[in-house]
Chain A
């Protein structure tokens, strides 16, 4: 009987290690997702693009406030190009870096510039 039980401790330790390792892997994976904040940066970038479109529509030459181009440690770069006649096709690109990976969103909008009265 005792002969059959040989290895019981070893087996328990192996199983215990495996289970704890598995739990730790799940935990580490979830932890990484919590630190993932690119969704907020993406929303900021979308808001910046809309801000740029609003300023273009007003045709005032106003620029985006410097504080809007920064979110914590992340700097946003907004590039705008215009083409067309009365109806202008405005292309706005917003770039930023997240975990050393370059990120970019690009929007296009056809706008009619309204001159102020």
Chain B
């Protein structure tokens, strides 16, 4: 008797429980999924911003380090490319290996340009000398956050002082950073700007 009553009371229980639990489960999974996606999106933006800052600061550091040791500096306006300029540093070196004529080079070059070699976005490139076939990209094409250069300009605020400004924009977050600094070039004999 008792067994029969129990069965009678339990009739439809699983269906009702399922009807209550399933929407709750869906709601719970949806909420957790949304939060998870949001956190992932935030993390992606954080990393992209980190890449943006790092790339901009790296360009500033490289240019100022090369400028500090430069024997001569030549800045050229990169025509029709936007707010960009090319800087060519010539530095004294003890020896950088034999050249084609069998002599040791006593100068080396550091050339920074902005170009859109990929046909889409402008990036900063680096060459070791004018004849260097390798135009090494210094910005962009980073898996963690692609960037594009908006400005790379130079000025001469004082004698033997190179002022550099770079502006980079993240293609992930749309944020941009602009860094400016100056470097004194004690060994600089020629400064064309």
Contact call A60/B46, Cβ cutoff below 8 A: no
Query: Least Cβ distance of B190 to chain A in Å?
Result: 12
- A62–B162 alpha-carbon span in the complex (Å): 12
Number of B residues contacting the other chain (C-beta, 8 Å)? 39
- A112–B13 alpha-carbon span in the complex (Å): 89
Q: Which residues of B contact A114 (CB under 8 A)?
A: 160, 186
Q: Which residues of B contact A74 (CB under 8 A)?
A: none
Partner of B180, one of A27, A33, A40, A65: A65
Binds A, one of B23-31, B100-108, B120-128: B23-31
Number of A residues contacting the other chain (C-beta, 8 Å)? 39
Q: Which residues of A contact B42 (CB under 8 A)?
A: 27, 30-31, 33-34
Contact call A16/B27, Cβ cutoff below 8 A: yes
**Chain A residue at minimum C-beta to C-beta distance from B53:** A40
A1-B9 in contact given A9-B20, A19-B28, A62-B158 (Cβ < 8 Å): yes
Partner of A47, one of B20, B27, B49, B179: B179
Q: Mark B43-66, 1 if CB is under 8 A from A, else 0.
A: 101100100010001001000100
Contact call B13/A2, Cβ cutoff below 8 A: yes
A30-B43 in contact given A12-B24, A60-B158 (Cβ < 8 Å): yes
Contact call B177/A51, Cβ cutoff below 8 A: no
Contact call A16/B184, Cβ cutoff below 8 A: no
Partner of A54, one of B17, B39, B184: B184
Query: Least Cβ distance of B89 to chain A in Å?
Result: 16
**A-contacting residues of B (Cβ < 8 Å)?**
6, 9-10, 13, 17, 20-21, 24, 27-28, 31-32, 35, 38-39, 42-43, 45-46, 49, 53, 57, 60, 64, 157-161, 163, 177-184, 186
Instruction: Please name 13 further chain A to chain B contacts, defined as beta carbons within 8 Å, in addition to the given A47-B60, A114-B186, sorted by A numbering.
Output: A16-B24, A16-B27, A20-B28, A27-B35, A39-B53, A50-B183, A51-B180, A54-B184, A55-B157, A55-B182, A57-B161, A58-B160, A116-B160
